Amino acid sequence: MRILKLLLSILILTQSTNIFAQKTPAINQKMQWFADAKLGIFIHWGIYSVNGISESWAFYNNYINHDAYMKQLNGFTAEKYNPQEWVNLIKESGAKYAVITTKHHDGVSLWDTKAAKATTAINNSAAKKDLISPFVEDLKKAGLKTGLYFSLPDWSYPDYDIFTRDRKRYDFKAEPKRWNNFLNYYQTQLKELSTQYKPDLVWFDGDWEHTAKEWQTDKVRAILKNNNPNIIINSRLDENGDYETPEQGVPVVKPESKYWELCYTMNDSWGYQPYDNHYKSSNMIIRTLVDCISMGGNLLLDIGPKADGTIAPQQVKILKDLGRWTKKHAEAIYETQAGIPSTHFVGKTSLSKNKDVLYLYIDYKTANGLLLSGIKSKINKVEIVGNKAPVKIVKLNETDYLLDLNESAFDNDVTVLKVSLNEPIELSDEKLKSISMETLFSSKEESTPINLRKLAADLNNGINLFQSTNLVADGLGFKSGVENGNQDINDWVIKHAEALYKTTTGIPAGHYQGKTVLSADKQTLYLFVEGKPTGPIAIKGLKNNISRIRIVGEGTMLPHEIYNKLYWSKIPGIVYIPVPEDKLDKQLTIIAVLLDAPIDLYREKVGAIESNM
Short-list 60, 233, 48, 239, CA closest to 160 = 60
**Per-domain residue ranges of the chain:** 39-329, 348-421, 437-595
For residue 1, give the amino acid letter. M
Mean pLDDT to the nearest integer, 562-569: 85
**412: helix, strand or coil:** coil
β-strand pairing of 232-233 with 516-518: unpaired
Are 406 and 391 in contact by the 8 Å Cβ rule? The answer is no
List, in order, residues 6 or more apart from 299 with CB less than 8 Å away.
38, 39, 40, 261, 262, 264, 288, 289, 292
The answer to whether residues 115 and 189 touch, using CB atoms and an 8 Å cutoff, is: yes
* Residue 569's pLDDT band (cuts 50, 70, 90): confident
Q: Say what the pLDDT of residue 292 is.
A: 97
Q: What share of the chain is helix, strand, coil (3-state, %, to 5)?
A: 30, 20, 50
In the CATH scheme, what is the homologous superfamily, with its name and number, of domain 348-421? Golgi alpha-mannosidase II (2.60.40.1180)
Task: With cut-offs at 50, 70 and 90, classify the pLDDT of residue 433.
Answer: confident
Using DSSP, state whether 507 is helix, strand or coil.
coil
- Give pLDDT tens digits for 268-295: 999 999 999 999 999 999 999 999 999 9
Least confident of 160-174, 202-216, 481-495: 481-495
Dihedrals φ, ψ of 538, to 5°? -130, 145
Strand order in the sheet with 537-539: 537-539, 574-577, 561-563
Residue 25 is predicted with a pLDDT of 57
Give the C-alpha distances (Å, rounded to integers) separating 237 from 82, 151, 221. Answer: 31, 10, 9
Where residue 97 falls among pLDDT bands split at 50, 70, 90?
Answer: very high
What is the greatest pairwise CA distance in the chain? 90
Report whether 528 contacts 566 (CB < 8 A). no
Cα torsion angle, 240, 245, 249, 251, sign:
positive
Q: Which pLDDT score is estimated for 12?
A: 39
| Nearest one of 496, 612, 535 to 58, comparing CA atoms | 612
The amino acid at residue 237 is L
Neighbours of 13 (CB within 10 A): 10
Residue-level length of the chain: 613
DSSP label of 165: S
pLDDT at 538 over 90: yes
**Alpha-carbon distances of 461 from 434, 519, 587, rounded to whole Å:** 10, 14, 20
Lowest mean pLDDT among 99-113, 196-210, 271-285, 474-488: 474-488
- The model's pTM: 0.92
Q: According to the model, what pLDDT value does residue 443 have?
A: 67
Q: Degrees (nearest 5) of the Cα angle 346, 350, 352?
A: 145
Per-residue pLDDT reduced to its tens digit, 571-606: 899 999 999 999 999 999 999 999 999 999 998 765
What value does the mean pLDDT take over residues 223-244? 92
State the DSSP H helix or E strand holding residue 394, giving kind and residue range, or none if neither.
strand 392-395
Same fold, 348-421 and 437-595: yes
Q: How confident is the model at residue 484 (pLDDT cuts 50, 70, 90)?
A: confident
Q: Are 509 and 343 in contact (CB under 8 A)?
A: yes
Find the mean pLDDT for residues 407-420. Answer: 96
What is residue 14's predicted lDDT score, i.e. its pLDDT? 42
Instruction: Tell me what the mean pLDDT of segment 139-167 comes to.
Output: 97
Q: Is the dihedral of CA 334, 377, 529, 594 positive or negative?
A: positive
DSSP state of 280: P
Q: How confident is the model at residue 567 (pLDDT cuts 50, 70, 90)?
A: confident
Cα torsion angle, 93, 98, 104, 110, sign: positive
What is the Cα–Cα distance from 575 to 591, expressed in whole angstroms?
Answer: 13
Q: Residue 611 — pLDDT band, cuts 50, 70, 90?
A: very low
Q: Specify the CATH number of the domain 39-329.
A: 3.20.20.80
388 pLDDT higher than 90: no
Answer yes or no: is pLDDT of 143 > 90.
yes
DSSP assignment, residue 343? G
Rounded CA-CA distance 75/354 in Å is 53
Q: How many helices (H) and strands (E) does the chain have?
A: 15, 26
Give the model confidence (pLDDT) of 293-335 as tens digits: 999 999 999 999 999 999 999 999 999 999 999 999 999 999 9
- CATH number of the domain at 437-595, out of 3.10.150.10, 2.60.40.3500, 1.10.3720.10, 2.60.40.1180? 2.60.40.1180
Whether the Cβ atoms of residue 448 and residue 489 lie closer than 8 Å to each other? yes
When pLDDT is cut at 50, 70 and 90, the band that residue 133 belongs to is very high
The yes-or-no verdict on residue 155 having pLDDT over 80 is: yes
- Of residues 116 and 20, the one with the higher pLDDT is 116
User: What is the average pLDDT score of the chain?
Assistant: 92
- The confidence score (pLDDT) of residue 582 equals 95
Separation between Cα atoms, residue 422 and residue 424, nearest integer Å? 7
Q: Residues 29-67: pLDDT tens digits? A: 899 999 999 999 999 999 999 999 999 999 999 999 999
Percent of the chain with pLDDT over 90: 81
Is the pLDDT assigned to residue 176 strictly greater than 50? yes
Local structure of 402: helix, strand or coil:
strand
**AA letter at 548:** R
Alpha-helical segments (H) within 431-540: 437-442, 448-460, 487-495
Using pLDDT thresholds of 50, 70 and 90, give the confidence band for residue 139.
Answer: very high
Gap between the Cα atoms of 582 and 336, Å rounded: 37
